[in-house]
């Protein structure tokens, strides 16, 4: 294994790649273990795991006991989290803590925090059959309620529906929480199997960053990882990429005032870091902030939308545009978005637009090092994408791009799906 | 005075941080946290003017402005003669934005370069209101769209139903941005009057955190053209009496998967003293933490009884003219949840020594974490400066907490006659 990666020290510890970097500018530190499996039929069980793990451990038998232990560690946060990263299901286990030397008595908060994290992962009540039916049922019901509550946030709901429809038949269509019916059918045994599967077969790596002592990081992380069961990692499949096809569309209705338009564009994923940088620049010029075409043309000049922005999913190869608007403007807005995409792809933009978008990205990359969370996330993303670059090196890559390369950023881009969430009509039809 | 003499410097030994404090010749408080820890600089200009400052006296007249005018003004100040404020910040690689709440409006940018140009620009925008009937009209549609988006949120609807139940007359009951209807009445004259009344150096503060020279920041801040003086007197009903049955909101049907409810109490006395408000905030936060943090056996018992779930959140918000606690929860049985929460909040638990020790450790950790970003530091310093609060006092306040005063605060705040609730039910 390499000795450095993306500016972090790198070593394999107990069979797990560990990337770490002490940085005395901070007063806190973060350690995150990432475990990755293909997104699939067991998504619901995996998504429920964080809530079940927090029900207690062999040492701290219930939630209040666990929470009190965290409070005693100066409010350390020990958080399991389930998330979707393209077509990969990721479980992240994060320890976020103040550095021990910053508080009275200078406790070993790295060691103590990782010991708590190890208890959570390796010795949860779930694993010992100690999770009573009532607790499991409560968490399962709450997860199903949480999945239903996505509907309360209409922007998020529209994005979820758009992806489900655009990627129908692909793993990407599975929502982050799995599926409500699947959640309601879960059993404790399925969830425990999901935990063992993640720990036993998951593709793992760990990132540690912040106010850490050079001489203690590796031994403490090694102690932590030694608590995990033996692993036989399985490789992750590449994302599903359909061939270009005609644009598809759907309109769904709900009680709301402001309609939501979501346009799902596809991009090939098998490209190098330089192409992703070009795409990043293209996406920024299109919908990356107040300088972008969507903001200036669609929102400000044409007054067709309240918000309009574009996001890029590097894992799945999606460029998604999110717009809040009046239903009557939807057709015109979509036309305008397509016109702006075509113009940018054809190089019809000013030097100023190009320079502003690039400067915004460079400025954001410079600021990545100011935040433990942002730098840890950046390093993790680089590891997943296989791009061994520091934020500064990434900035150099952006700085080297010429305006003529923007067309490369739009190469292979095609509109797959147009989704509109609109108000109920007076007849209540949908 | 020149150079360092223009500043007082306050240090926190635990954090290893220092804040430089000064005032411009026009009286604008300025705080600078010079640090090489961050590459990004954040600047925050905080104005003590928010959505509840609707009625006031200006130049011998009593003025009543429409709901949402503070938020409207925030939008309009981002437009000047050049009509491209966002573009200018973007062209310097800076991110700029603003926000309005019940009692303040803050304007901020973050940037890694051209700090002087960005700061001059921000101060110019906020000091010079470029407001005409034409550009006010143009903004109306955009603000209406923003308000419609909020109104689509069930949480937003629930929150303002709840506030309407707590406060029959105080303007905190109105949405910060007003309503689509109320902003139709906003005129250029309203906005200019509000700007004249509240955008003054005695009612604002600037804070900057990042790799900057304090002297250079203070020199730039001298360019702030806000007029000298304090804000004008605001006329608000005290609205501290018992909750009135007639103003309690009826449960509202919404397209939500589960019922949502809010329940809480309002303070019956207020204080103009910002330090006392901080102390009150801390005591109430701890009282709520004792009952509703994840470590609380009270919360766990409610969970096991099935009357709450993890959607329960608790908070307390106060200012010089209002103060209220709130508990928010999704539930399948709003009656049972309301009854259980009402019973719990009216039964103050003991604040045991081991709990107090644990909560102090947690708050120390939180305090250290709060110095983790230039934006967070600048925002906190700007807010403290506008209220005349000394820096680095958070842990002194925590150390001084006693069990008796937290219990007393609990009894004083959570009273049956001060309790209101609101509900959204699945349509």
Residues A148, B257: C-beta atoms closer than 8 Å: yes
Residues A152, B153: C-beta atoms closer than 8 Å: yes
**Residue A314 Cα, gap to closest chain B Cα (Å):** 23
Tokens representing residue B13 in the block: 């030994």
For helices B297-304 and B274-292, angle between their N-to-C axes, nearest 10 degrees = 50
A-contacting residues in B 285-344 (Cβ below 8 Å): 293-297, 299-300, 303-304, 306, 309-311, 330
| Confidence check: pLDDT of A133 > 90 | no
DSSP state, residue A57:
B
- Over chain A, what is the mean pLDDT? 93
| Confidence check: pLDDT of B78 > 90 | no
Query: Per-residue DSSP letters for A83-140?
Result: EEETTEEEEEEEEEEE-GGGSTT---HHHHHHHHHHHHHHSBGGGGT-S-HHHHHHHH
Q: Which of A25, A142, A369 sits opposite B309 (nearest CB)?
A: A142
Question: Other CB atoms closer than 10 Å to residue B8's CB: what's the count?
Answer: 11
A chain contacts of residue B98, beta-carbon cutoff 8 Å: none
Query: Per-residue DSSP letters for A145-208?
Result: HHHHHGGGSHHHHHHHHHHHHHTTTSGGGS-TT--HHHHHT--HHHHHHHHHHHHHH-EEEEEE
Q: Which residues does A234 contact at the CB level (< 8 Å), separation at least 6?
A: A37, A201, A203
Closest chain A CA to residue B306: A138
Tens digit of each residue's pLDDT (9 = 90 or more) over A137-170 = 999 999 999 999 999 999 999 999 999 999 999 9
Question: B241 or A192: which carries more pLDDT confidence?
Answer: A192
Tens digit of each residue's pLDDT (9 = 90 or more) over B137-158 = 988 988 998 898 899 899 999 9
Tens digit of each residue's pLDDT (9 = 90 or more) over A210-256 = 999 989 999 999 999 999 988 899 999 999 999 999 999 999 999 99
For residue A426, name the pLDDT band (cuts at 50, 70, 90).
low
Q: Which residues does B341 contact at the CB level (< 8 Å), separation at least 6?
A: B263, B302, B307, B308, B327, B329
Q: Which of B15, B87, B309 sits opposite A291 (nearest CB)?
A: B87
| Confidence check: pLDDT of A402 > 60 | yes
CA B349 to chain CA centroid, Å, is: 29
Question: A363 or B3: which carries more pLDDT confidence?
Answer: A363
| Confidence check: pLDDT of A40 > 70 | yes
Tens digit of each residue's pLDDT (9 = 90 or more) over B302-314 = 999 999 999 999 9
Tokens representing residue B412 in the block: 């004083």
**What number of C-beta contacts closer than 8 Å exist between A and B?**
177
Q: Answer for the pair A152, B153: CB distance below 8 angstroms, yes or no.
A: yes
Lowest mean pLDDT among A328-337, B59-68, B80-89, B159-168: B80-89
Tens digit of each residue's pLDDT (9 = 90 or more) over B245-270 = 877 888 999 889 899 999 999 999 99
Q: Given this model, what pLDDT does residue B310 score?
A: 92
Kind and range of the H or E element at B151?
helix B133-151
Q: Which of A98, A134, A138 sits opposite B365 (nearest CB)?
A: A98
Best residue in B78, B111, B362 to probe A by mutation, most A CBs within 10 Å?
A: B362
Tens digit of each residue's pLDDT (9 = 90 or more) over A97-115 = 999 999 999 999 999 999 9
Backbone angles phi, psi at A415, to 5 degrees: -80, 120
Q: Which of A73, A142, A258 sits opposite B148 (nearest CB)?
A: A258
Q: Given this model, what pLDDT does residue B110 score?
A: 96
CA distance A33 to A57: 18
Closest chain A CA to residue B357: A72
B chain contacts of residue A356, beta-carbon cutoff 8 Å: 87, 90-91
Predicted model pTM: 0.92
Q: Given this model, what pLDDT does residue B4 score?
A: 62
Tens digit of each residue's pLDDT (9 = 90 or more) over B214-254 = 999 999 999 899 999 999 999 988 898 888 887 788 899 98
CA A306 to chain CA centroid, Å, is: 25
Closest chain B CA to residue A303: B142
Q: Which of A141, A303, A370 sits opposite B373 (nearest CB)?
A: A370
Of B177, B103, B173, which Cα lies nearest the Cα of B143? B177
Of B192, B141, B296, B168, which Cα lies nearest the Cα of B240? B168
Kind and range of the H or E element at A381?
helix A372-385
| Confidence check: pLDDT of B165 > 90 | yes
For residue B1, name the pLDDT band (cuts at 50, 70, 90).
very low
Q: Which residues does B94 contact at the CB level (< 8 Å), separation at least 6?
A: A363, B109, B110, B111, B114, B118
Whether residue B152 lies within 8 A of chain A, CB to CB, comes out as yes
Residues A367, B294: C-beta atoms closer than 8 Å: no
Query: Per-residue DSSP letters for A239-276?
Result: PP-PPP---EEEEEEES-SSEEEEEEEE--S---HHHH
């Amino acid at each position: 294994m390499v000795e450095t990666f993306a500016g972090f020290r790198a070593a394999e510890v107990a069979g797990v790649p560990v990337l770490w970097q002490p940085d005395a500018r901070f007063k806190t530190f973060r350690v995150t273990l990432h475990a990755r499996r293909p997104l699939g039929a067991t998504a619901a069980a995996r998504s429920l795991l964080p809530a079940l793990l927090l029900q207690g451990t062999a040492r701290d038998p219930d939630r209040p006991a666990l929470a009190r232990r965290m409070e005693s560690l100066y409010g350390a946060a020990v958080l399991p989290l389930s998330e979707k990263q393209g077509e990969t299901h990721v479980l992240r286990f994060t320890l976020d803590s103040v550095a021990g030397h910053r508080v009275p008595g200078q406790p070993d908060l790295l060691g103590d925090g990782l010991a708590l994290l190890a208890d959570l992962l390796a010795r949860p009540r779930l694993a010992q059959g100690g999770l009573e039916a009532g607790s499991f049922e409560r968490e399962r019901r709450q997860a199903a309620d949480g999945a239903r509550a996505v509907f309360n946030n209409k922007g998020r709901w529209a994005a979820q529906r758009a992806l489900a429809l655009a990627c129908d038949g692909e793993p990407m269509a599975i929502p982050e929480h799995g599926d409500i019916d699947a959640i309601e059918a879960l059993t404790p045994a399925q969830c425990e199997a999901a935990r063992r599967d993640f720990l036993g077969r998951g593709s793992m790596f760990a990132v540690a960053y912040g106010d850490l002592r050079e001489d203690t990081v590796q031994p403490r992380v090694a102690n932590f990882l030694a608590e995990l069961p033996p692993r036989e990692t399985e490789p992750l499949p590449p994302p599903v990429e359909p061939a270009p096809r005609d644009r598809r569309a759907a309109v769904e209705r709900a009680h709301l005032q402001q309609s939501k338009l979501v346009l799902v564009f596809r991009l090939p994923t098998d490209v190098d870091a330089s192409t992703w940088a070009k795409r990043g620049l293209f996406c920024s010029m299109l919908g990356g902030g107040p300088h972008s075409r969507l903001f200036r043309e669609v929102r400000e000049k044409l007054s067709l939308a309240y918000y309009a922005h574009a996001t890029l999913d590097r894992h799945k190869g999606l460029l998604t545009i999110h717009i809040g608007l009046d239903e009557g403007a939807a057709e015109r807005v979509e036309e305008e978005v397509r016109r702006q995409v075509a113009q940018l792809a054809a190089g019809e933009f000013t030097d100023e637009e190009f320079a502003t978008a690039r400067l915004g990205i460079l400025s954001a990359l410079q600021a990545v090092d100011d935040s433990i969370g942002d730098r840890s996330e950046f390093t993790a993303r680089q590891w997943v994408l296989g791009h061994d670059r520091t934020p500064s090196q990434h900035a150099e890559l952006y700085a080297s791009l010429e305006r003529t390369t923007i067309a490369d950023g739009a190469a292979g881009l095609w509109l797959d799906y147009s989704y509109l969430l609109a108000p109920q009509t007076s007849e209540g039809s949908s | 005075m020149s150079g360092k003499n223009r500043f007082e410097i306050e240090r926190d030994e635990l954090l290893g941080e220092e804040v430089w404090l000064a005032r411009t010749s026009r009286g604008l408080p300025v705080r600078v946290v010079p640090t090489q820890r961050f590459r990004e600089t954040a600047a925050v200009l905080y104005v003590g003017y928010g959505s509840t400052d609707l009625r006031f006296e200006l130049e011998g007249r009593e003025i009543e402005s429409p709901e949402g005018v503070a938020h409207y003004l925030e939008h309009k100040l981002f437009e000047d003669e050049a009509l491209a404020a966002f573009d200018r910040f973007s062209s310097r690689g800076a991110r700029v934005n603003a926000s309005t709440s019940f009692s303040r409006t803050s304007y901020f940018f973050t940037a890694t370069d051209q700090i002087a140009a960005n700061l001059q620009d921000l101060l110019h925008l906020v000091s010079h209101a470029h407001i005409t009937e034409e550009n006010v009209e143009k903004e109306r549609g955009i603000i209406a769209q923003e308000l419609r988006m909020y109104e689509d949120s069930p949480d937003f609807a629930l929150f303002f139903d709840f506030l309407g139940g707590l406060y029959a007359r105080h303007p905190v009951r109105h949405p910060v941005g007003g309503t689509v209807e109320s902003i139709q009445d906003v005129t250029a004259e309203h906005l200019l009057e509000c700007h004249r009344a509240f955008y003054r150096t005695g009612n604002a503060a600037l804070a900057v955190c990042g790799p900057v020279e304090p002297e250079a920041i203070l020199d730039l801040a001298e360019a702030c053209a806000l007029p000298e003086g304090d804000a004008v007197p605001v006329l608000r009903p005290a609205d501290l009496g018992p909750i009135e049955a007639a103003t309690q909101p009826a449960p509202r049907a919404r397209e939500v998967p589960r019922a949502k409810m809010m329940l809480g109490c309002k303070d019956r006395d207020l204080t103009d003293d910002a330090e006392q408000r901080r102390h009150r905030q801390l005591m109430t936060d701890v009282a709520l933490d004792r009952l509703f943090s994840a470590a609380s056996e009270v919360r766990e018992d409610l969970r096991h009884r099935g009357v709450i779930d993890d959607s329960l959140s608790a908070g307390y918000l106060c200012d010089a003219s209002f103060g209220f606690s709130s508990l928010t929860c999704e539930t399948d049985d709003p009656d049972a949840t309301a009854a259980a929460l009402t019973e719990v909040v009216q039964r103050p638990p003991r604040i045991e020594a081991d709990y107090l020790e644990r909560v102090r450790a947690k708050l120390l950790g939180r305090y250290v974490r709060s110095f983790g970003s230039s934006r967070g530091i600048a925002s906190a310093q700007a807010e403290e400066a506008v209220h005349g609060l000394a820096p680095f006092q958070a842990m002194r306040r925590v150390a001084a907490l006693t069990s008796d005063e937290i219990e007393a605060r609990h009894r004083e705040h959570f009273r049956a006659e001060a309790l209101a609730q609101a509900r959204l039910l699945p349509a």
